[in-house]
Structure 1
């Protein structure tokens, strides 16, 4: 299901309406944050026509502040719930486990893709050995570790890509 996204103006108006309703639910007279400070009753009297008119004016002003905003806020949340964006089993908002697992899988896919792309364009990118031949020229990785060393280095890259903690400590893109 799709629904128009609530704008900040919609959310602000919904919060203001919530504040008004919360005040009368608690038995208090709802104040108008846009009106100059005046002497107002502390408690709300549902039998007082002037107070009912004040309540009506407050609510309609907030609703008119963002036409359609209440619909976008309330139905937007209903859409989020019906589309399983948040975990319906919890009493607080948290990503649905399906989405949380998807984010983990996407990160794993990124790690693996970076490694495979590096291997695909491989051009003797073994790390520096910091060792020198007797003539002072640098010793290559292959000359020190041989073909088995090269194989082991490629396996190390694969292990790092497959293990999130090893990859985080030494990302593939930063190895040279």
Structure 2
């Protein structure tokens, strides 16, 4: 299975999401939940039989609580996952992925090194 390589606009959007999550996660130990609001947006929507509506304050509170729960459960996951993929894996200077392809594939230098390390039959 092949996956498309992230575009510059994908990386910019992911970087902005990273900043938004950092903004929510400013509190040491993770963000505090909003009292009396559920912690799972998916469960809340399923139980209420509704779709997410950004004009409903309760939906926004549940969304915040769900994000806060993720940020407390795995501190800085967003930095490692989004930052790692966008700014380490995709950085052409690191020569991890092939810059000439539009999908994710190891850089030719890495493929060559791995082929040289492979045992010969």
TM-score range, shorter chain: 0.5 to 0.7
CA distance in 1 between partners of 2:76 and 2:102 (Å): 28
TM-score normalised per structure 2: 0.54
Aligned twin of 1:62: 70
2:113 is aligned with 1:105: no
Counterpart selection for 1:43 from 48, 51, 74: 51
Displacement of 1:46 in angstroms is 0.7
Displacement of 1:38 in angstroms is 6.4
Change (3 A) 1:45 1:38: closer
Change (3 A) 1:104 1:38: closer
Unaligned regions of 5+ residues in structure 1, if any?
Answer: 1-16, 18-29, 112-167, 169-176
Bigger CA radius of gyration: 1
Unaligned regions of 5+ residues in structure 2, if any?
Answer: 1-20, 22-40
2:101 is aligned with 1:79: no
Aligned alpha-carbon RMSD (Å): 2.6
The superposition leaves residues 101-148 of structure 1 with CA deviations (integer Å, 9 ceiling, x where unpaired) of: 2222334xx65xxxxxxxxxxxxxxxxxxxxxxxxxxxxxxxxxxxxx
Change (3 A) 1:101 1:53: same
Off by >3 Å, runs of 4+ in structure 1: none
Helix, strand or coil for the counterpart of 1:39? helix
CA distance in 2 between partners of 1:85 and 1:59 (Å): 31
Q: How does 1:1-16 map to 2 (within 5 A)?
A: none
Displacement of 1:72 in angstroms is 0.9
Displacement of 1:39 in angstroms is 2.3
Displacement of 1:91 in angstroms is 3.0
